[in-house]
Amino acid sequence: MTSYSAVETQWALTALANEDFSQIHTLCDVGGGHGHLACGLLNAYPHLQATVLDLPGVVGETDQLWAPKLGLSDRCRYLGGDMFHEVPPADAYVLKSVLHDWSDDECMRILANLRRAVVGAGRVFAADFVVPGPEEPHFSKLFDIHMMLVGTGRERTAAEFAELMGAAGWRYACGTGYRTLSTVSSPRLPPLVLRFGSAWSIGSVVCTRYRKGLWRR
């Protein structure tokens, strides 16, 4: 999984290359594992402080944690917890390959916890497969079947992501990325700007930003 995390981190950094992080000082990687993505963001944005939230058994694997290996322990803390119950305060949250693991109701619980805890800039960067229209072949459709077999999760369309986020009190801001995997290493190519969507997948590398919206109970 480390090699896959390294690929995903590079995708995320490429997709976020034009994002303004000047108003973000604290970031929480929710379900962030051993912190590979969080450390990548810390290297890219030296003013950031990060918290990696995952289950106690995950962050307790001290020999696997990336921050000590990369000399970033002074800017990255690991917190054992449960995103369904509580998340730490932060200016922004990252959800990478998290929402597709859970049902709509479970995602709502996670997103509502983020909405209650967020401070400052108030953003969520969500990255997941996005299912295109019925006539377009896409890996996300095969993976949707896989998710049906292993748990409560599912892959979602861009409209479904937008509805889910809106119901939890977040509003869509923008989606940026690169059209093919081969362009990830070619930052000279112009970024895509999507009306809705948040994904990186085979054939599509996109990161979507959501801002605080009107809280709906």
The residues annotated as belonging to the active site are 100
Residue 5 phi, psi (nearest 5): -60, -40
Three-state SS letters, the chain: CHHHHHHHHHHHHHHCCCCCCCCCCEEEEECCCCCHHHHHHHHHCCCCEEEEEECHHHHCCHHHCHHHHCCCCCCEEEEECCCCCCCCCCCEEEEECCHHHCCHHHHHHHHHHHHHHCCCCCEEEEECCECCCCCCCCHHHHHHHHHHHHCCCCCECHHHHHHHHHHCCEEEEEEEEECCHHHCCCCCCCCEEECCCCCEECCEEEEEEEEECCCCC
| Rounded Cα distance, 14 and 9, in Å | 9
